[in-house]
Amino acid sequence: METPYSVRNEVATIRLEHTYTFKSLEVHEGSQLRDFLYLAVYVPPGCLPPDRAIIDAPLMTCYTQNWGKPDDFAMVAQTQQSQPPVGIAWIRQMTHACPGYGFIDEMTPSLAISVLPSLRGQGIGTKLLTELLSQAPSDRIGLSVQNSNQAKRLYERMGFSTIRESVDESIMVWTRLPPV
């Protein structure tokens, strides 16, 4: 199945191997975010994944704790409506008290995204992020990404630009373009 997506003023096509549905995450489904938060932790090639307890670290709990606040928004990728998610992308407004990673300001929500490892590299993340950006209630979204993470190229293709960078990490922001 081919799906068009817009990257700034360019149109490209991705071919998904299976039929996926993309829908908003319901508040009662928020418990699934913890599993996908763990999968969103970047593990460099040749390294072992961290202990699952990493998602209980204070900066990590900011992404999932008390899900269902007014500005929380997430998109889910599924193979069928009744199936569990194969990917989730979500944004959440962070605060100075609970900044997460890549905090920009209290007006710019932070993005987290993950696809099941066995399904990565098939265009699901691209489509999931496209759906989230097109429906997001915010016109500006930030994220933190390790510079060695291949996902950084996806974010750049989708219009995110680097606003701060260190040796290991980039803080990126996406801003919705006004309609032409």
pLDDT in tens, 128-175: 999 999 999 999 999 999 999 999 999 999 999 999 999 999 999 999
The 10 Å CB-count burial string (b at 16+, else e) for 53-86 is eebeeeebebbbeebeeeebbbbbbbeeeeeebb
Query: Which is the CATH superfamily of the domain at 22-44+51-138?
Result: Gcn5-related N-acetyltransferase (GNAT) (3.40.630.30)
Domain parsing of the chain, residue ranges? 22-44+51-138
Q: What is the pLDDT of residue 132?
A: 98
**Position 58 pLDDT exceeds 80:** yes
